[in-house]
Amino acid sequence: MGRAFVYVIVGGGVAAGYAALEFTRKGVSDGELCIISNEPVAPYERPALSKGFLLPENPTRLPSFHTCVAANDEILTPKWYKEHGIELLLGTRVMSVDLKRMTLVSSTGETISYKFLIIATGARALKLEEFGVEGSDAENVCYLRDLNDANKLATVIQSSSNGNAVVIGGGYIGMECAASLVINKINVTMVLPGAHCMARLFTPKIATLYEDYYRAKGVKFMKGTTLTSFEFDSDKKVTAVNLKDGNQLPADLVVVGIGIRPNTSLFEEQLIIEKGGIKVNSKMQSSESSVYAIGDVATFPVKLYGEMRRLEHVDSARKSARHAVSAIMEPEKTGEFDYLPCFYSRFFAFSWQFYGDHVGEVVHFGDYEEGKVFGAYWVKEGHLVGSFLEGGTKEEYETISKAIQLRPAVGDMEDLGREGLGFAETVVSQPVVPEVTDVQSSVMVRQASIRVVVMEKPLHVWHAVTGVVVAASVAAFAYWYGRKRSRKW
């Protein structure tokens, strides 16, 4: 016999932490909520592991980065969970789930039943063995997904001062770790399969700027190649890395960041899986009505793009968690999850944010010479769909995110590049034209751009036209005024 809870969250990472706080705000009662996590600590802000956690001086350590500190909210320590009557089962893996019986079995052998289940199992780091390379268990080969990995990496860093590190992979884990290794006085070579770092998001121009900076800090790049095998000493420690292009790199430390795989295995036979994640609707509800999925493991409808996406970003974990709890606790009051994809990273003194989608044509703006404040816009089918900004202020990041949500029309790419952030500022400073919906076609007249008035399908409603004309006049004034202001771009 086991225990019964109203709400059970499987997984105790970022999404679980934000869900817990939301449950208390929505009035969960003592003893109703249980969180089961195979990690030994309460939910924490995972992004800290590749940033403050790896600093040589005063590194960030728990409890300072438990959720929900990064959202400037309460820090949920184990004491907080106790005080709020939330059962936190740490160091406990969920071994099986029976969605029909609404029960699960934990690694302690306990059977737990629930009324609502929230899947927040996140993802795991892909292992080299999955690509045919042996050696992941060597004491100086490090991954970075959880606190155990981070502790191992921090220990190996300490014993590798002035030594050589090879970073496999040029995504954000690779980039952030490489920066931390340099700060720890370790010589770094990055091995990238593609032509440049952050290949899924960065344009060659953005990547070049960052890579040049890394080179100036002593980082070497080996591009267009992959790891094929390791050389080991008699203690099974890696001493060198062999690459497909025939090069061999000496290594005191290897960091592997080659992607992640969502933890769906407990549910694959029982729920619909799409794009590698658990398919949910706009309430984060899966194909089983009592089961919700949030964070990295969920594939949900991104309204802005009209398609299903699975995102691997902390902002999406936090917001999808809050939305799911709201949908469970206050179903009548909770609308559709209308999420704008957002991703950020920090390395060395750089800090950037990306909003929206990186598809279509791209135009760069800002000061790439100085490399302090610069960015890019992505335009698809004549509308702004994505924006990257390095070195912006809080207000500027807010501005680009609002502009992306409005999907303004773009007339001329060169003008857009010249105007840079000024374009987004002008767009968001315009009054919003009320939405007018043609019932038959569901085409909306929504945005009035500064130079292209967007009426994708002109309607007969005369006040809509009047509204657009008024908005366009205000926009024209805002545009003129914006141009008068002295900006670098």
Residues that bind ligand FAD (CB under 6 A): 10-16, 36-39, 46-47, 49-50, 93-94, 120-123, 144-146, 172-173, 263, 266, 295-297, 312-315, 317, 343-345
Q: Counting every residue, how long is the chain?
A: 489
Closest to ligand FAD by CB, 121 vs 140, is: 121
- Nearest distance in Å: CB 164, ligand FAD: 22
Task: Put residue 375 in one of left, alpha, beta given phi > 0 → left and psi -120 to 50 → alpha.
Answer: beta
Closest to ligand FAD by CB, 296 vs 357, is: 296
Task: Put residue 167 in one of left, alpha, beta given phi > 0 → left and psi -120 to 50 → alpha.
Answer: beta
- Nearest distance in Å: CB 252, ligand FAD: 21
Task: Put residue 32 in one of left, alpha, beta given phi > 0 → left and psi -120 to 50 → alpha.
Answer: alpha
- Nearest distance in Å: CB 296, ligand FAD: 4
Q: Go through 45-55 and write b for each residue having 16 or more CB atoms within 10 A of its CB, e for each that does not.
A: bbbbbbbbbbe
- Nearest distance in Å: CB 478, ligand FAD: 32
Closest to ligand FAD by CB, 300 vs 479, is: 300
- Nearest distance in Å: CB 431, ligand FAD: 32
Closest to ligand FAD by CB, 231 vs 274, is: 274
Give CA–CA dist 150/72, Å, rounded: 23
Closest to ligand FAD by CB, 160 vs 264, is: 264
How far CA 217 is from CA of 156, 345, 463, in Å, comes to 21, 18, 59
Find the residue with minimal CB distance to ligand FAD.
13
CA end-to-end span of the chain, whole Å?
67
- Nearest distance in Å: CB 475, ligand FAD: 33
- Nearest distance in Å: CB 367, ligand FAD: 24
Q: Go through 385-418 and write b for each residue having 16 or more CB atoms within 10 A of its CB, e for each that does not.
A: bbbbbbbbeeebbebbbbbbbbbbbbeeeeebbe
- Nearest distance in Å: CB 41, ligand FAD: 9
Paired strand residues for 189? 166, 220
How far CA 17 is from CA of 9, 169, 270, 329, 479, in Å, comes to 10, 29, 25, 17, 43
Closest to ligand FAD by CB, 62 vs 459, is: 62
- Nearest distance in Å: CB 372, ligand FAD: 20
Closest to ligand FAD by CB, 20 vs 363, is: 20
Closest to ligand FAD by CB, 146 vs 390, is: 146
For residue 459, the tally of other CB atoms under 10 A from its CB is 16
How far CA 285 is from CA of 118, 338, 349, in Å, comes to 9, 14, 40
Closest to ligand FAD by CB, 214 vs 347, is: 347
